[in-house]
Structure 1
């Protein structure tokens, strides 16, 4: 059984409905924006797709000793790939909203398996759209508080573990 080494959680603004995790010193332009897909992978990054762009989402980042066990029922969608994390430091790109640096430090630079997952995308998107029917004053306290109550309910996960070396040598 693999051991959890480190974990971090943050709220992320899904600017234009997307955000990206990448190596802190090595911004990646090889990943395409996911469009209608849940995720898109580049050589050195992953894009996540949200159904909305106005409510901050929860991003859980985890570093594992080896590939962690997985429960498909806990998440609504997932995908796995291998990415290069050249410095071992994971950051978030929130597009025009900015970014967050140094969110997770992996044991060492290199190639990592990464499993990404999401849950509650549709629920939060639908709840956010319903606020426009509930509140006349979109600048009022009621709308703002209801929107804030949705923050973090839409969740994303990124689990990293060292990828096997090519050729099987150590």
Structure 2
């Protein structure tokens, strides 16, 4: 059974319906976000980055990152979206980035340093975020959980 190593929450600035998790070392990412962003696709994996299509135009989403020692169970709850992907992270850290807002200040530490990681992402609050962002900037309406574990 997989064990949770760490769980941390981060605010993510979303603009133009997009954001990404990108290797902290930009020199290891051949195509930097937002180049190649696929509008309408919930999760797209690129070399060194994971792109997310948000239901809301401009807002602050809530991101919970969980680091596991093996593949965990899907988080309990009702999810609007769920997806699996993989990422090679040469620095052992990720950074959230907005389309226009750029990188968020906080590093997201992956346990054990550089490596290949599997990730499951679930999301809820998409319909509310879509509706509410038409009338202003909202905070924490769209919520993501990203579960990372070392790929075998």
Into which bin does the TM-score normalised by the smaller protein fall?
A: 0.7 to 0.9
CA contact 2:92–2:114 (8 Å) conserved in 1: yes
1:153 is paired with a residue whose SS is strand
CA distance in 2, matches of 1:59, 1:73: 16
Per the alignment, residue 47 of structure 1 pairs with: 51
Deviation at 1:65, TM superposition (A): 0.6
Structure number with greater Rg is 1
Per the alignment, residue 120 of structure 2 pairs with: 115
The equivalences for 1:15-54 within 5 A come to 15-25=15-25, 26-29=28-31, 32-54=36-58
Aligned residues: 147
Q: Which runs of 4+ in 1 moved over 4 A?
A: none
Segment drifting more, 100-109 vs 46-55: 100-109
Per the alignment, residue 158 of structure 1 pairs with: 146
Structure of higher RCO (CA pairs closer than 8 Å, 6+ residues apart): 2
The equivalences for 1:1-170 within 5 A come to 1-25=1-25, 26-29=28-31, 32-71=36-75, 73-100=77-104, 101-129=106-134, 131=135, 147=137, 150-164=138-152
With over 3 angstroms needed to count, the CA separation of the structure-2 counterparts of 1:28 and 1:7, relative to structure 1, is farther
CA contact 2:56–2:131 (8 Å) conserved in 1: no
Higher helix share: 1
2:121 is paired with a residue whose SS is strand
Unmatched runs of 5 consecutive residues or more in structure 1: 132-142, 165-170
Normalised to the residue count of structure 1, the TM-score between the two structures is 0.77
Normalised to the residue count of structure 2, the TM-score between the two structures is 0.85
Higher strand share: 2
Deviation at 1:43, TM superposition (A): 2.5
CA contact 1:32–1:41 (8 Å) conserved in 2: no
Unmatched runs of 5 consecutive residues or more in structure 2: none
With over 3 angstroms needed to count, the CA separation of the structure-2 counterparts of 1:73 and 1:32, relative to structure 1, is farther
Provide the aligned C-alpha RMSD in A.
2.0
